[in-house]
Structure 1
Amino acid sequence: MPEDFLIARNPDGDSTLPYLLRIPLDDRAVILKARDTWPRTAKIYCHRVDDWPDDAEVVERVPVRSCVRRGASIDLVLDRGRENRSQLVMTTVKGGRQAIFWQSARTTKQARPAGSVPRTRASGQRDVEIVVDTHERYAWGFGEQQATTRKAALVAGDYGIERDGALVATVERKSLDDLVGSLTSGKLRYQLAELAAVPRAAVVVEERYSRLLGLTHVRPAVVLEGLAECQVRWPQVPIHFCETRKLAQEWTYRFLAAARVAAAEESHGVAAVADLAAAPALAAAPATPAEVRAWAAVNGFDVAPAGRVPRRVVEAFEAARGATPG
């Protein structure tokens, strides 16, 4: 019979992973640091720990029905009615570093929404050039979108569209941790002010909004309130939540492509107004016989009240108002 599954507080107060997990596997235990106590709405990143502290503050103890290793994963079934089945998956990320993700059937399904990303061109455009800020780490490549990228320093945001050397649209990309950290430190307000100076800008978050409710190192209400205040102060810079990195990348591509079309239309509109202003003035409309007769009466010309107005009177009228006789 396996031992109990334990959750304790991480005694390392400087760690970003506030919990310890003790998973009974065969004749030994797997000990991990984790971000949360259960993968309710998203996968949870975990990291190996060598030893379980003797004075660990246990916050939850649950009997285990089964704990079995299956290849690169561990299937864990707890002895309780809800939140009882989960899986720990060991994988390798960039640089050869090992990463462990704790997931349930529910979070796995949410991470893979139904349907696939469409391959159609955004706004009917081919090869949209997206400028990637030089400070962006692990930048998106837009490999599934019809876009090309180039590196350059952006005055705001991480991904942008330029027209005639000017930034006309930009998107600031954030993970959930980056969003919460920049909000609580006050950095987000400065970033939003910079984004608001660009004609079109947005913030895209690689996570769903509901994940904010599961925060443990900061009160969720503080984050929700802070985001609401930011949106009220900078309504022209929307903060858009996407479920995954892949969807966030697709949303950014579509946003920037649409902004590119809008910028081109606005540029053509300005040019049309400039052409209209530079066009020669229209010739004055010909005077009516009644207007000529009224002028003639005031200026001493004898004109019959009906019939054709004499040519000499019409010429005098046109000369008086500064027009060339027609």
Structure 2
Amino acid sequence: MPDDFLIARNPEEGSSLPYLVRIPLGANGIILKVRDTWPRTTKIYCHRAEVWPSNPEIIEQLPVRSVSRRGAAIDLVLDRSRENRSQFVLTRARGREMIFWQSRRTTKQARPNVALPTARAHGQVLEIIVDSGERYPYGFTHQQTATTRRKLPAGDYAVTEGDTVIAAVERKSIDDLSAGLTSGKLTYQLAELAGLPRAAVVVEAPYSALFKREYVTGATLAEALAEAQVRFPSVPMVFCDNRKLAEEWTFRWLGAALHEWRLSSRTDVIVADLAGPSPTPAEIRSWATAAGIDVPARGRIPARVRTAWEKRNNG
């Protein structure tokens, strides 16, 4: 086995981690399943693979300048001019191993130079529904929320009033957005979102990331995105710099949507209360008699009498 850094296709059909990498460290190397071939715009989630395939489809074989283990991190330096330094971070969460592949750029993006607030969304502890099909969902651990998982009609995160979905947010990485725009899948998702009272799409990357894709031109993606936004104006699409800020935006937007919904509902009740109860036929007859308007003693109140009553009270 060479001491190069190897990238191959994952032979497992239907895997969400379509690539394999072999890090030349130790007797047999460290073999991982990965989502992409390099952490260009975001950290890449990795999972250990049992063995390296006997006849792999090699995508890249890159000479290594240095590779070393430092605590929970593996530092890798490749012998090439660009995209040469990266790091694999091994950690544990909820009792299981988690591995992330990151570069200096994606590490900087993942740690925005801002202090995120911890205040409640409009003074309330939100109850956020997380779609049961959402993989690696937001935990909202920084925000004051309670989360439950169930199937949503549209979107990945939602707030409800009773059994009614009031607002939902669809989460997109830049890879998901690019794939949805080129395949047309995003159009169907936006159509479903547009059927909700309020909905939005949040992208875990800046708008400029559209123009840094490897296999599709920026102009193609920008045109498709503009067309989608014009076609579905009721579903805003918001670009955030990274996953952390996208999570914070989702929390704040859902809180504002629920607050606005409740305010609108309360306004409807107040308007109805101000209108007061409908007059009884006896009240209208008494007024008409006192005003000298001919009105039958029994039966339905004639339309001319009701019109006179309404004009009198509106005047």
How do 1:172-187 and structure 2 match up within 5 A?
A: 172-176=170-174, 178-180=176-178, 182-183=180-181, 186-187=184-185
Secondary structure class of the residue paired with 1:255: helix
1:176 touches 1:207 (CA, 8 Å); kept in 2? yes
Q: Distance in 1 between matches of 2:239 and 2:25?
A: 37
- Which of 257, 267, 270 aligns to 1:269? It is 267
Q: Distance in 2 between matches of 1:133 and 1:17?
A: 21
Q: How many residues align?
A: 282
The residue that corresponds to 2:108 in the other structure is 109
Aligned-partner residue type, residue 171 of structure 1: V
Alignment of 1:61 onto 2:52: no
Q: Distance in 2 between matches of 1:134 and 1:46?
A: 22
1:212 touches 1:224 (CA, 8 Å); kept in 2? yes
Q: Distance in 2 between matches of 1:33 and 1:132?
A: 26
2:75 touches 2:87 (CA, 8 Å); kept in 1? yes
Greater Rg, structure 1 or structure 2? Answer: 1
Instruction: Give CA deviations for 1:144-190 in whole Å, capped at 9, x if unaligned.
Output: 32333455654433333334653322223345555455555544323
Secondary structure class of the residue paired with 1:195: helix
Secondary structure class of the residue paired with 2:159: strand
Q: CA deviation at 1:195?
A: 1.6
The residue that corresponds to 1:119 in the other structure is 118
Aligned-partner residue type, residue 73 of structure 1: A
The residue that corresponds to 1:72 in the other structure is 72
Q: CA deviation at 1:47?
A: 4.6
More divergent stretch after superposition (246-255 vs 4-13): 4-13
Q: Distance in 1 between matches of 2:5 and 2:120?
A: 50
Aligned in 2, Cα 1:51/1:149: closer, same or farther, shift over 3 Å? closer
Aligned-partner residue type, residue 189 of structure 1: T
The residue that corresponds to 1:230 in the other structure is 228
Q: CA deviation at 1:74?
A: 1.9
How do 1:17-166 and structure 2 match up within 5 A?
A: 17=17, 20-25=20-25, 29-48=29-48, 50-51=51-52, 57=58, 59=60, 61-62=62-63, 64-92=64-92, 96=96, 98-123=97-122, 125-133=123-131, 136=134, 140-150=138-148, 154-163=152-161, 165-166=163-164
Secondary structure class of the residue paired with 1:122: coil
Q: Distance in 2 between matches of 1:234 and 1:203?
A: 11
The residue that corresponds to 2:167 in the other structure is 169
The residue that corresponds to 1:302 in the other structure is none
Secondary structure class of the residue paired with 1:25: coil
Aligned-partner residue type, residue 78 of structure 2: L
Q: Distance in 1 between matches of 2:74 and 2:41?
A: 20
- Which of 195, 198, 214 aligns to 1:197? It is 195
Q: Distance in 1 between matches of 2:133 and 2:30?
A: 37
- Which of 203, 216, 221 aligns to 1:219? It is 216
Q: Distance in 2 between matches of 1:240 and 1:61?
A: 37
Aligned in 2, Cα 1:42/1:133: closer, same or farther, shift over 3 Å? closer
The residue that corresponds to 1:308 in the other structure is none
Q: Distance in 2 between matches of 1:114 and 1:258?
A: 25
Q: Distance in 1 between matches of 2:31 and 2:195?
A: 48
Secondary structure class of the residue paired with 2:225: helix
Q: Distance in 2 between matches of 1:59 and 1:141?
A: 35
Q: Distance in 2 between matches of 1:163 and 1:188?
A: 27
Q: CA deviation at 1:113?
A: 1.1
2:155 touches 2:170 (CA, 8 Å); kept in 1? yes
Q: With the length of structure 1 as denominator, give the TM-score of the two structures.
A: 0.67
Q: CA deviation at 1:111?
A: 0.9
The residue that corresponds to 2:283 in the other structure is none
Instruction: Give CA deviations for 1:216-273 in whole Å, capped at 9, x if unaligned.
Output: 5x63555544433222211211223334444333212211111122122322333344
Q: Distance in 1 between matches of 2:149 and 2:10?
A: 42
Instruction: Give CA deviations for 1:20-61 in whole Å, capped at 9, x if unaligned.
Output: 544433665444454444333222334555337667556453
Aligned-partner residue type, residue 219 of structure 1: V
More divergent stretch after superposition (114-123 vs 264-273): 264-273
Secondary structure class of the residue paired with 2:24: strand
Q: CA deviation at 1:319?
A: 5.7
Instruction: Extract unaligned runs of 5+ from structure 2.
Output: 280-290, 294-307
Q: Distance in 2 between matches of 1:165 and 1:39?
A: 40
Aligned in 2, Cα 1:37/1:11: closer, same or farther, shift over 3 Å? closer
1:168 touches 1:199 (CA, 8 Å); kept in 2? yes
Q: Percent identity of the aligned residues?
A: 51
Instruction: Extract unaligned runs of 5+ from structure 1.
Output: 282-317
The residue that corresponds to 2:250 in the other structure is 252
